[in-house]
Structure 1
Amino acid sequence: MALGLVTVVALAATGVWNPFPAVWDWVDRSDPIAEPDVVWQQRVGGTPRSVTIAGDTVVVEQRTRVEARSLATGAQLWERKADWSAVAGGDRDPVVAVGKLLVKGYELLDPATGVTRRRDDDAVAVWTYRNLLLDARCTDATDCTLSAWDPRGTVPLWTAFLPGVHSGLLADNPGLRGTRRLTATRIDDGVAGPEPVPPLLGFPVDGRVHVVDTATGRVLQNVEPGRDERLSVVGGRMLRIAARSQDGTCYFAISGRDPATGQETWQRAGVNLRTADNAGCAQREDPQGARNVLIGVAPDGREAVLDGYDGRLLWVGEQGAKLIAVDDRYALVRAADKRSVVARELGTDRVRWTRPATGKVGAALTPYAAVVVDEKPSRLVALDPRTGRELAALRTSANALAVGSKGMIIGEGREIGYVRFGATAGDPARPPGDGGVPAPGGTGGTPGDDDTCGPKRELCPDPAGGKDG
């Protein structure tokens, strides 16, 4: 054995034959993270903090670096040292913003090559969306400039002045006054990737909320909440959410206001938006919801979905039913018997599809797929959100990390893998309103328009120059 080992070492040292790399590859080989097997599986340098599909690449953010991999093969394309990263743009024009903590500025990288497309040396915060990138730079704590950019643009679309954006260096996507997403075990919070920019954004500054029109950059409101109020900007409206403590419970009232005039457009009492966490009724959280809808609890304990624009009840659940995912098109509901998941179209009470599930089911809605995870047995399924047809069905304990137009990234620990959607499961290639595809409630897309105009066209600017919400 000693003679054989010496012979092998001698052959390896002279370059004649070296078996050690192949042996190490066999020892280090990872077990498949899903069944059926994924298209590719790769081990990244550290546990991912976020994973995003950006065009034909996969951007993986880790603790001290960011890397991009080919969506087709999983091969690494480039790697950069960075403390934070965020993806902006859609399938045709993605960019990767990267920066360092406690250091001003950021770089915008091409996700396919890692080449710097634009560099900024002064910004203290960046917000990334599917069709817009915002950054803020401050000459002092009370004098800041907010700029909007096309994801691959080189000249700002507009600028606005704000008396601060919190304080300090904020890196990527610091919190604004909007809604909180429903979360689910084994589904990453950013699984849907960057979303279209809302028509209005609410910037909290020194106890006040500054409402900015994202189409023009105009600051429409500068509002201080009342003692029992919380302000939130949802669906093109500024919401005043009042919570009053009386008789050992909280009494809620919601008022939707036109941001341009401040006039009340709708009101609703008795719906708990889960902004207060105890009987003292102090509101420390944004309401739950997604895009232009809100999630509340009626006085009788049934969950409900409200339209943030006009206050309509878009869906009211049955007793015992549990809302597990929502966007502005559909609601996924675990039935009261905990044996099935039901997809409902908001505003019509129409059941789109139903599938069996257990009591521990979780879900998320993305533009391309509804992702459902279940336990005992452990399953991860991607479905066409319109029909419920299966795009991919896996036996796996891995997490859903990112969903794109043609497949999704799953991961467990340092292992990530790509699952391609089946060709027979509908047409998930584009989200509604993307690239000219008409969207529900909209009037048809335009080239480059990545979003629906909404049932009241609240998400689109008025061609005549005005804007209702």
Structure 2
Amino acid sequence: MCGVKGLGTRGWLLLGLITVVVLAATGVWNPFPGLWDWVDRSEPISEPDVAWQQRVGGTPKSVTIAGDTVVVEQRTRIEVRSLATGAQLWERKADWSAVAGGDRDPVVAVGKLLVKGYELLDPTTGAVRRRDGDAVAVWTYRNMLLDARCVQATDCTLTAWDPRGTSPLWTAFLPGVSTGLFADNPDLLGTRRLTAQRIDDGLAGPEAVPPLLGFPVDGRVHVVDTATGRVVQNVEPGRDERLSVVGGRMLRINAVSADGSCQYAASGRDPANGQEVWRRAGFNLRTADSAGCAQREDPQGARNVLIGVGPDGREVVLDGYDGRLLLVNAEGERLLAVDDRYALVRTADKQSVVARELGTGRLRWTRPAGTKAGAALTPYAAVLTGEKPNRLVALDPRTGRELVVLRTSANALAVGPNGMVVGEGREIGYVRFGTGAGGPPPPARDGAGVPGPGSSGGGAPDAEDSCGPKRELCDTGTR
């Protein structure tokens, strides 16, 4: 008894620790998992709270919703989590990853930098669906996957696959590939998207493959028809030209110095015969930098539309297929986001963001927003950011109905049919649409076929809004 009384404080602590260890070892009581969870618990990433919140292994390079999973690409590995619970399903060492396929048939392509080949993995299980040992570059789309392999520097093959297919859809031969074409989704000659702070560039996930793709090879542009694999054009740009491939047309953009300024002209040409289909003079598509008329950038735009500045200084949206003016902003207004259906515009008084229908200019909705508001358009939601106070808002693109309103400083990382992934540092969380005043948008349907170049870039009637004017929400098969 005297020995017990003489233990002192340290002795009692040691005795208590020994008792807890014995109880944990015998399975009677184990406080350590709960204690560690309490110590490691993170602050909620937003208010209202997200459906789930997890800390990933490293700062994400990209986050993509792939069916019922969330693919998190990090610097040297990827990890895939359940969209429903956030629980980790599997992880894999990889230097790059990219998602192909639609909501019902996604796959994850993974590979290593400076190492040929890639693997296609099932996002739910991580099982290998197809393996390639020779490809140097991979392009992923909602309805197609392309890869390029080279026997020699001047002898390359471009191959198209259904995302889950095992036999090529077609092959095309290219006289080499650009030295910058490697790993996942290297830049081709298309459009340059509008960006916004706190909104990830890959927010919308993979898009449908365009009808034409422009591959830069040794100073020339090889235009490939993605329906057949036929190389329809092999063109060298002129001294003052920049070539781009948008909306099923090959664009020739001229910028020449005259009278102390740059003078611009753009034309769209039929890929089959090279004949000019449309021409616009005086429209600056923002291909040249401020230092002169040298065109070092792709034109601004998205999908099949182009963004530019008209002769009167107002921003415009052009249809890449036929050159039509789809939208002309009022003086002082600024485009924040655009797709084939709508444009999000900050008003001249910088107090609101409005959504306008392309082709008709019809006002869809208006929402108060500050001077630093950012925006993005996805097939499932229009996303707006706000500061002081920090906000992330997801709206129905057609009606402006609130899908979710978050008080958070986190970034918008990925949007899917029923919710959005947000993140800050290593913390990511999933919020389901319906947390705000509204409910989730109508579900998109997967079907057959791919939008072709014949339809215009805007002015779709209400009946088509669920699929988009080119059925980009409903069509995920090959043409």
**TM-score tier after normalising by the smaller chain length:** over 0.9
Which residue of the other structure, out of 28, 35, 43, is the alignment partner of 2:55?
43
2:369 aligns with 357
1:465 aligns with none
1:425 aligns with 438
Q: Report percent identity of matched pairs.
A: 76
1:290 aligns with 302
Which residue of the other structure, out of 168, 174, 183, is the alignment partner of 1:171?
183
Aligned counterparts of 1:351 and 1:79: Cα–Cα separation in 2: 45
Secondary structure at the residue paired with 1:5? helix
Deviations 1:168-190 (A, max 9, x none): 77100000000011000000000
Residue 198 (structure 1) aligned with residue 210 (structure 2): yes
Asked whether the equivalents of residues 41 and 416 of structure 1 are also in contact (C-alpha less than 8 Å), the reply is: yes
Secondary structure at the residue paired with 1:3? helix
Aligned counterparts of 2:102 and 2:467: Cα–Cα separation in 1: 8
User: Which stretch shows the higher mean deviation, 63-72 or 420-429?
Assistant: 420-429
Q: How many equivalent residue pairs?
A: 455
Shift of 1:126: 0.1
Shift of 1:400: 0.3
Aligned counterparts of 2:259 and 2:228: Cα–Cα separation in 1: 46
Aligned counterparts of 2:397 and 2:114: Cα–Cα separation in 1: 41
Shift of 1:19: 3.0
Asked whether the equivalents of residues 87 and 128 of structure 1 are also in contact (C-alpha less than 8 Å), the reply is: yes
Aligned counterparts of 1:244 and 1:380: Cα–Cα separation in 2: 42
Deviations 1:263-294 (A, max 9, x none): 00000000100000024200000001000000
Shift of 1:451: 7.2
1:373 aligns with 385
Deviations 1:185-230 (A, max 9, x none): 0000000000000000000000100000000000000000000000
User: Which stretch shows the higher mean deviation, 66-75 or 271-280?
Assistant: 271-280
1:147 aligns with 159
Aligned counterparts of 1:315 and 1:87: Cα–Cα separation in 2: 32
Residue 74 (structure 1) aligned with residue 86 (structure 2): yes
Relative distance call for 1:168 and 1:307 in structure 2 (3 A) is: closer
Residue 9 (structure 1) aligned with residue 22 (structure 2): no
1:254 aligns with 266
Which residue of the other structure, out of 233, 236, 246, is the alignment partner of 2:248?
236
Shift of 1:301: 1.4
Deviations 1:337-373 (A, max 9, x none): 0000000000001000001000000000000000000
Secondary structure at the residue paired with 1:72? coil
Specify the code of the residue in structure 2 equivalent to 1:70: S
Relative distance call for 1:5 and 1:437 in structure 2 (3 A) is: farther
Q: Trace 1:61-460 onto structure 2 (pairs within 5 A).
A: 61-167=73-179, 170-422=182-434, 425=438, 428-431=441-444, 434-435=446-447, 441=460, 452-453=469-470
Deviations 1:15-58 (A, max 9, x none): 25443332222121100010000000000000000000000000
Aligned counterparts of 1:8 and 1:277: Cα–Cα separation in 2: 71
1:58 aligns with 70
Secondary structure at the residue paired with 1:281? coil
TM-score for the superposition, normalised by structure 2: 0.91
Aligned counterparts of 2:282 and 2:180: Cα–Cα separation in 1: 38
User: Which stretch shows the higher mean deviation, 421-430 or 277-286?
Assistant: 421-430
Specify the code of the residue in structure 2 equivalent to 1:2: R
The alignment yields a C-alpha RMSD, in angstroms, of 2.4
Asked whether the equivalents of residues 103 and 169 of structure 1 are also in contact (C-alpha less than 8 Å), the reply is: no
Greater Rg over alpha carbons, structure: 2
Specify the code of the residue in structure 2 equivalent to 1:425: G
2:455 aligns with none
Aligned counterparts of 2:427 and 2:16: Cα–Cα separation in 1: 33
Secondary structure at the residue paired with 2:78? strand
Aligned counterparts of 1:435 and 1:340: Cα–Cα separation in 2: 37
Secondary structure at the residue paired with 2:321? coil
Relative distance call for 1:194 and 1:168 in structure 2 (3 A) is: closer
Shift of 1:7: 2.3
User: Which stretch shows the higher mean deviation, 333-342 or 2-11?
Assistant: 2-11
TM-score for the superposition, normalised by structure 1: 0.93
Asked whether the equivalents of residues 447 and 477 of structure 2 are also in contact (C-alpha less than 8 Å), the reply is: no
2:4 aligns with none
Aligned counterparts of 1:3 and 1:83: Cα–Cα separation in 2: 52
Aligned counterparts of 1:192 and 1:25: Cα–Cα separation in 2: 33
Asked whether the equivalents of residues 178 and 234 of structure 1 are also in contact (C-alpha less than 8 Å), the reply is: yes
Asked whether the equivalents of residues 131 and 450 of structure 1 are also in contact (C-alpha less than 8 Å), the reply is: no
Structure 2: stretches of 5+ with no match in the other structure: 1-8, 452-458
Secondary structure at the residue paired with 1:8? helix
Specify the code of the residue in structure 2 equivalent to 1:151: P
